[in-house]
Structure 1
């Protein structure tokens, strides 16, 4: 018997994948594992832009404060490596913007 959370995760992944692409959905759903729980709660992936005719892509991330922005920038290379585990290839660039959380 499967847990309700597993079914919910599959439904959310299906919706995100159909609207924004499988790669972006994988990053969003695993964001806390990629950057760690603390940074995951203080930031979120905003969008992913794909380059035509290549595997190059850019991930835009919103950091909710300047401290998180600095920490994400400091860990940028490690984050790219961890994202490669989920996608199977390295993204070229992470662009981090400070945008206060509304919630």
Structure 2
């Protein structure tokens, strides 16, 4: 059975990368990072997790195609795959209602 863990963008990079290292040592298979306009953007966080770990799959909890152009999302993940290998999972959706309201 695969078991993953989620990190929010409201945590510091140090907390997230340390948590990712611990998750890998404990045998977790995936780390997920969602997007909210109230938190740090997930792409730098996903990059930091990939850099801090050796083999964990890293997934975007939800990346909003209203806030990020689909071609930018595609290119961001292609760049991550080039740098860190095929360890990434992309989840796309409109986003949560609260974020959409805040964005107008």
Larger radius of gyration: 1
Normalised TM-score (structure 1): 0.36
**Larger relative contact order (CA 8 Å, sep ≥ 6):** 2
Higher helix share: 1
